[in-house]
């Protein structure tokens, strides 16, 4: 059995006050049996780590540099994130791909750094509306996943989490139907199964894209949907925990 993982991607939202309020509210409520994880913006990682020190809630960063260290002004390395105490790093989110021209090759380089720092990469894949309408969904996600499965070792792949986030569903209120999401998740798992069946059976595939308390249960009960990557609804403790409970 794969333990469900419900992760909150806060994107570029928050303040010290908001982080305190949100995390204290989460801590005051009964934790769901699903594993919870939050991805605060860099400046609030330390604060989140301190606030969550005694809890089971994991903390991840939203990105990292492809470089190890050196003259890369403005960048943050996976090594620094590990030093700080985060456990996961989100990579290849569609907003990074769209606004920062991140390619699959770059995402692979970043994933290698994350793994070398002994952290878990959560790699996002997903098609645009035009690509879905052109019937290219599987082709697109396959192209995004392939560099990882070709270039990482089996031991490295065992640590990778994949998030399927159809670009047309992110922040739009449009959610993939449970059947649409399941179809892509099953396809991605079948691709991994060609590399190694046991790896595929254990790998976590999260769904992201307007997941809310009212649609979470139907998505999370699908056999190949192992959790969620939640944007908007993760900024509200009640909604985020409700999604965590829907995963039980």
Residues in contact with ligand PGA by the rule CB under 6 A: 9, 165, 170-171, 208-211, 229-233
Shortest gap between Cβ of 163 and ligand PGA (angstroms)? 7
How far is C-alpha 108 from the chain's CA centre? 15
Active-site hit among 95, 102, 127, 165: 165
Q: Which is nearer to ligand PGA, 106 or 235 (CB)?
A: 235
Q: Angle CA(55)–CA(56)–CA(57) in degrees, nearest 5? A: 90
CB 46 within 8 Å of CB 53: no
Quote the strand ranges of the chain, DSSP E.
5-9, 35-39, 58-61, 88-91, 120-125, 161-164, 205-208, 227-230
147 vs 208, beta carbon nearer ligand PGA: 208
Catalytic annotation present for 75? no
Q: How far is 107 from 40, CA to CA, in rounded Å?
A: 20
141 vs 200, which CB is nearer to ligand PGA? 141
- The distance of closest approach from Cβ of residue 7 to ligand PGA in the complex, given in angstroms and rounded to an integer, is 8
Active-site residue, selected from the candidate residues 88, 93, 102, 127: 93
C-beta atoms surrounding 201 within 10 Å: 11
Q: What are phi and psi of 51, to 5 degrees?
A: -65, -30
State the Cα–Cα distance between residues 157 and 163, nearest whole angstrom.
Answer: 14
Looking at the Cβ atoms of 81 and 233, the one nearer to ligand PGA is 233
Question: Taking a C-beta distance cutoff of 8 angstroms, is the pair 208, 163 a contact?
Answer: yes
179 belongs to the catalytic site: no
The residue nearest ligand PGA at its CB is 231
Shortest approach of ligand PGA to residue 123 CB, angstroms? 12
Q: How far is the CB of 73 from ligand PGA (least distance, A)?
A: 27
- Could you give the residue numbers annotated as active site? 93, 165
């Amino acid at each position: 059995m794969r333990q469900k993982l419900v992760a909150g991607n806060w994107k570029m939202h928050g303040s010290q006050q908001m982080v305190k309020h949100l995390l204290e509210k989460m801590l005051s409520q009964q934790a769901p049996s699903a594993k919870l994880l939050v991805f605060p913006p860099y400046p609030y990682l330390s604060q989140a780590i301190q606030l969550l020190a005694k809890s089971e809630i994991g903390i991840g960063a939203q990105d990292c540099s492809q470089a190890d260290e050196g003259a890369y002004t403005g960048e943050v390395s996976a090594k620094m994130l590990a030093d700080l105490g985060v456990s996961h790093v989100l990579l290849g989110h569609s907003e990074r791909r769209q606004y920062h021209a991140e390619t699959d090759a770059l995402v692979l380089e970043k994933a290698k750094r994350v793994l070398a720092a002994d952290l878990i990469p959560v790699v996002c894949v997903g098609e645009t509306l035009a690509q879905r309408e052109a019937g290219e969904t599987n082709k697109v996600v396959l192209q995004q996943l392939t560099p990882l499965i070709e270039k990482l070792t089996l031991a490295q792949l065992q640590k990778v989490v994949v998030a399927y986030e159809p670009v047309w569903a992110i922040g739009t209120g449009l959610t993939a139907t449970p059947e649409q999401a399941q179809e892509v998740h099953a396809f991605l798992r079948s691709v991994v199964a060609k590399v190694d069946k046991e790896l595929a059976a254990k790998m976590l595939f999260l769904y992201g894209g307007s997941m809310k308390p009212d649609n979470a249960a139907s998505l999370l009960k699908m056999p190949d949907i192992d959790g969620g990557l939640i944007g908007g609804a993760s900024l509200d403790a009640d909604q985020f925990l409700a999604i965590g409970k829907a995963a039980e």
